[in-house]
Structure 1
Amino acid sequence: MSPLRLTVTARSLVFGGHAIARRLGKTGVPDRSVAETWECSDVEGAGSVVADGPLAGVPLRQVVADHPEALMGAGWSGPYFPVLTKFIDAAGTLPVHLHADDETARRLERQPHGKTEAWHILDAAPGATALCGVKEGVTADRLRAALEAQDFDAVLRRLPVRAGETLYVPGGTPHSFGPDTLVYEIEQTSDIQQHAMRWNMEDGSPVGDAEFGANLDMLMRQVDLETRPDFTPGLGIAVDDGVERVFLCAGPYFALERWRAGTAEPLRHSFATAQILSNAGAPVRVRTGTWSGELGRAETLLLPAVCEEVEITGPADVLFGYLPDLDRDVRRPLLDAGHPPRIIATLGAGAPARKRARPVPCDRP
């Protein structure tokens, strides 16, 4: 299998703008306000399709079914691709919302798993902030009353947002970010969510009292009052002269790294599981095996596990997202670099060191 260029889904939501095209330089984006581009997706109804090459026209889900180990790595099996990535332009403020965790999704949403996510801040205006997590000591009754009054700062933590930092957001955590914030998001393959707003994020139309009350009822059944994640600058390890590798976040559902090369010497990365390679900088030349191609600004390639190694000509600024074996792919290299276990754990909001999570089979992620 060669690297896969995938189709992209662009979503025009009320908080979007034009930064994905104008600031990141992504081409092919509709000439209108765009809030999100789904770069690698196997969500039902918004799944990526291979755009060129021998598998052109094949949905990502079919690639998973036909080539599970070649794509994902030895011993892997599952009905869909388990990681979703997006560029998000929060020109305005996102609605306050949450995504269920695994147990709650199975119990209340009839879904196989929830949606833990992480935000890597690509750019943010001075003074930008995010809401994430319930303030310590806030009870369920107090939270409900504040959400009804739309008084979010009374009960939710407001965090400063800075470019280059990353926040791992466990399922069940109420959150929002923006305005003037540009994000690369990685998450479980899911689109379940519960909102706390009196307006619809699709078009800004008002939400009626009955619907708003029902939304809050479900949100309160899913909220976790105890999760209070914080931004982290990530953990770096030495690679080559002029090459920087930073682990931005890592947990049982996904990991994200940012690699920068400041010279014309190639950046080389070996891997054993599929890599979602997204370009955060200028166009670069990518080579793996006999395949070679250009990766433009804000473009994405899916590198199958069978490729095993990729070489990217510098200067480069790229992101690698993947489903990790935490011991092999994250803990071991960071421990070898001298990072203590308690610090490594903060990359996943204190997530324990576990082997790669196996998604529960389901036809409706």
Structure 2
Amino acid sequence: MYKNEPIFLQPTLHERIWGGQKLKTDYGYPIPSDHTGEAWVISAHPHGPSIIANGELKGKTLLDAWNEHGELFNKKAGEDEEYPLLVKILDANDDLSVQVHPNDDFARSVEGVPYGKTECWYILSAEENAELVLGHHAKTRKEFEKMVDAGEWDKLLRRVNVKTGDFVYVPSGTIHAIGKGIVILETQQSSDITYRVYDYDRTDANGNKRELHLERSKQVTNVPHIDAKVEQTVETFGDLTEKKLVEEQYFTVYHWNLNGKTKRNCHHDFLQVSVVEGKAVLTIGDKTFELKKGMHFILPNSINEYELKGQAEFIVSHV
């Protein structure tokens, strides 16, 4: 099963109050409305598992594959852990709410779910002067809580300008928000816990404000905010330039720039691959697969060697 084949995945699409149409115009996805904010492109999360598009498991979900065919991911026999990672593309046609996510310990003890949420963003596109919220200016927890209670958001929130190709690492406990005009590829722990801190007093179609989670936010926010340091390295493999964006406890993420041909060996339990620009051909044994922007796949544990040929950019990750 999938011995010489990648597992291609179809995204699950989610409408959001801040979403737009770029998931259709830029990536060709069949969006459900003009306010589509998220494509869960590599997901085994029960809130939106990706559908397998090829092979013996075609039509099943990645969650099914993880539960029923753990050997594809080098999952140890008898292990009941959940699929560890989730990859999304987000189209911020408007500002996202300011939010924070808990760590594993808090998620398990308070929410009863296996994973907290550490995440990272590769900026696929950003309008001029686009910015996001990353962290806050409070020096002590008392000061932080006082500013939240008083709604002193302009004073509290730390804003950062970003451009296409930037990378942002967002550990759990970091106050953050993606700003208007930004499209990102997000690699994260497989978690859907979000504590909303501030939502610009927006209302939905029925005039209702979205729920805030201030008490939980106060409990899990890192104070003071300290920017996470990431060490990035660059290596070349044939005509492929690999930039390691982050390597830490939950995931390692790379940007690959292919300008010709490369042969690679797979040393990981499984490899998650997203084509974010261009076209390429993937060769495994005697099989070839056409790749283009907006495609996402997993190289399962059975694949040792593969070849890529073309002009393309990829975001790649593994545990």
Give how far 1:164 is off.
1.6
Aligned ranges for residues 282-293 of structure 1 at < 5 Å? 282-293=278-289
Residues 167 and 230 in structure 1, CA contact (< 8 A), matched pair in contact too: no
Task: Kindly provide the amino acid, as one letter, of the partner of residue 282 in structure 1.
Answer: G
For structure 1, list consecutive stretches of 5 or more residues without a partner in the other structure. 324-365
User: Counterpart of 2:295?
Assistant: 299
User: Counterpart of 2:9?
Assistant: 6
Do structure 1's residue 161 and structure 2's residue 157 form an aligned pair? no
Deviations 1:1-59 (A, max 9, x none): 2311223111111211122232x333433452321100011112311232232111222
Residues 258 and 310 in structure 2, CA contact (< 8 A), matched pair in contact too: yes
Residues 106 and 112 in structure 1, CA contact (< 8 A), matched pair in contact too: yes
Q: 1:258 aligns with which of 251, 255, 258?
A: 255
Give how far 1:205 is off.
4.7
User: Counterpart of 1:132?
Assistant: 134
TM-score of the two chains, using structure 1 as the length reference: 0.78
Residues 15 and 32 in structure 2, CA contact (< 8 A), matched pair in contact too: no
Give how far 1:168 is off.
1.3
Give how far 1:230 is off.
5.4
Give how far 1:67 is off.
2.6
Residues 88 and 185 in structure 1, CA contact (< 8 A), matched pair in contact too: yes
Give how far 1:76 is off.
9.7
Q: 2:68 aligns with which of 66, 69, 82?
A: 66
SS at match of 1:195: strand
The structure richer in strand per residue is 2
Deviations 1:203-240 (A, max 9, x none): 695338xx54xx21121112121442258694211222
Call closer, same or farther: CA 1:304–1:165 in 2, change over 3 Å. Answer: same
Aligned ranges for residues 167-246 of structure 1 at < 5 Å? 167-198=168-199, 205-207=207-209, 212=212, 215-229=213-227, 234-240=232-238, 242-246=239-243
Q: Percent identity?
A: 24
User: Counterpart of 1:20?
Assistant: 23
User: Counterpart of 2:264?
Assistant: 268
Task: Kindly provide the amino acid, as one letter, of the partner of residue 245 in structure 2.
Answer: L
RMSD: 2.6
State how many pairs are aligned: 315
Task: Please say which of residues 75-84 and 107-116 is displaced more in the overlay.
Answer: 75-84
Task: Kindly provide the amino acid, as one letter, of the partner of residue 302 in structure 1.
Answer: I
Call closer, same or farther: CA 1:316–1:201 in 2, change over 3 Å. Answer: farther
Q: 1:87 aligns with which of 71, 89, 114?
A: 89
Q: Distance in 1 between matches of 2:312 and 2:175?
A: 35
User: Counterpart of 2:124?
Assistant: 122
User: Counterpart of 1:42?
Assistant: 44
Deviations 1:316-355 (A, max 9, x none): 21111111xxxxxxxxxxxxxxxxxxxxxxxxxxxxxxxx
Call closer, same or farther: CA 1:150–1:16 in 2, change over 3 Å. Answer: farther
Q: Distance in 2 between matches of 1:130 and 1:152?
A: 14
Task: Kindly provide the amino acid, as one letter, of the partner of residue 99 in structure 1.
Answer: H
Give how far 1:103 is off.
1.4
Task: Kindly provide the amino acid, as one letter, of the partner of residue 145 in structure 2.
Answer: R
User: Counterpart of 1:55?
Assistant: 57
SS at match of 1:292: strand
Residues 132 and 228 in structure 1, CA contact (< 8 A), matched pair in contact too: no
Q: Distance in 1 between matches of 2:66 and 2:295?
A: 21
Deviations 1:114-166 (A, max 9, x none): 110001111112222111123251x3333234334443231222222122221
Residues 16 and 33 in structure 1, CA contact (< 8 A), matched pair in contact too: yes
SS at match of 1:115: coil
SS at match of 2:310: coil
SS at match of 1:311: strand
Residues 12 and 202 in structure 1, CA contact (< 8 A), matched pair in contact too: no
SS at match of 2:223: coil
For structure 2, list consecutive stretches of 5 or more residues without a partner in the other structure. none
Task: Kindly provide the amino acid, as one letter, of the partner of residue 290 in structure 2.
Answer: E
Call closer, same or farther: CA 1:25–1:7 in 2, change over 3 Å. Answer: closer
The structure richer in helix per residue is 1
Call closer, same or farther: CA 1:5–1:32 in 2, change over 3 Å. Answer: same
Q: Distance in 1 between matches of 2:19 and 2:75?
A: 36
Q: Distance in 1 between matches of 2:22 and 2:272?
A: 22
